[in-house]
Amino acid sequence: MESSGPSPTSLNNFRVVYLITQMVGAAIVILMGSWIGVHLGGLSWTSNPATQFNWHPLLMSIGMIFLYGNSILVYRGFRYARKKPLKVTHAAIHGLAFVFTVVALVAAFDSHNLAKVPIPNMYTLHSWVGMAAVVLFGLQYLFGFVSYLFPGVRESMRSTYMPVHVFFGVLGFVLAVAASLLGLLEKAIFAMPDYRYLPPQGVLVNMIGLLLVVYGGLVVFLVTDPMYKRKALPEDAMLLTHSPSSQ
């Protein structure tokens, strides 16, 4: 654990970029909701497979994008909180993201299977990359839970696993962003016969895509820049007997 933390100036910069990141993340969810409400017929669950599908992009953008990004940022965004509550919050936000993701997947599969002419599942590149992101996310959750929230795992093992957990956590997030871009594009092509003339709906979809790129870039910057790394607090060592090095 390092002893010196970020300088006050770099922490001010962090706060500004963190705030912008939150605003971009919120804008993505709001614009996704607008697209669904204004152009895709809104939301329903059992009455209409086409609008049941619309839960998929909405819940995925909340779960796998907004919550996932916030969960990996929690150690740096709340750097003065104690380690244990941070770990529990990290796991809780990820858990919530997982629930959103599962319901989003059910919405997609249901909308395919219950359509009058059923649509095959898992054939596009979006579905392959998206499933890879979800599986990676699930494995990370499992290994992270066992390693860091379970008592009895050796400190040396926790420290060794930490860079692996961080790398695959960031990779999973980037994969989720890539999968979202692919999902946006295929829905745009399927839903807009006039996409090539770039109607307002097309501009909206492409803008959501660019915001996803910006959000992804900002989150990865904030979560990987060594300058913004959380400094271990004295309480971390005093209160926890098994504390992995802070990320």
Distance CA 174, CA 158 (A): 24
Give Cα 145 distance to the centre of its chain: 18
Type of residue numbered 228: Y
232 near 2, Cβ under 8 Å?
Answer: yes
How deeply is 226 buried, as exposed, middle or buried, from its count of CB atoms within 10 A (0-12, 13-18, 19+)? exposed
Nearest-approach distance from CB 239 to a copy of itself, in angstroms? 29
**Is position 132 an interface residue for a copy of itself (rule: CB under 8 A)?**
yes
Q: Out of 171, 191, 204, 232, which residue is the one contacting a copy of itself (CB under 8 A)?
A: 171
The 8-class DSSP code of residue 3 comes to: S
The least CB distance from residue 54 to a copy of itself, in Å, is: 18
CB of 96 to a copy of itself, least distance (A): 26
13 binds a copy of itself (CB under 8 A): no
Asked whether 100 and 63 are in contact (CB, 8 A), the reply is yes
Residues that bind a copy of itself (rule: CB under 8 A) add up to a total of: 38
* Closer to a copy of itself by Cβ: residue 19 or 198: 198
| Cβ nearer to a copy of itself, comparing 78 with 221 | 221
Q: Which of 123, 150, 237, 245 binds a copy of itself (CB under 8 A)?
A: 123
- 244: tokens are 């992995």
Binding positions for a copy of itself, 187-246, rule CB under 8 A: 188-190, 195-198, 202, 205-206, 209-210, 213, 217, 220-221, 224-225
Stretch binding a copy of itself (CB under 8 A), from 43-51, 67-75, 90-98, 122-130? 122-130
**Sign of CA pseudo-dihedral 43, 49, 50, 53:** positive
Q: Which is nearer to a copy of itself, 87 or 228 (CB)?
A: 228
Nearest distance, CB of residue 206 and a copy of itself, angstroms: 5
CA pair distance 113, 120, nearest whole angstrom: 8
**Helix, strand, coil abundance in the chain, percent, nearest 5:** 75, 0, 25
Q: Which of residues 48-87 bind a copy of itself (CB under 8 A)?
A: none
Structural contact between residues 14 and 6, judged by C-beta atoms closer than 8 angstroms: yes
Binding region for a copy of itself (CB under 8 A)? 119-120, 123-126, 128-129, 132, 167, 171, 174-175, 177-178, 181-182, 184-186, 188-190, 195-198, 202, 205-206, 209-210, 213, 217, 220-221, 224-225
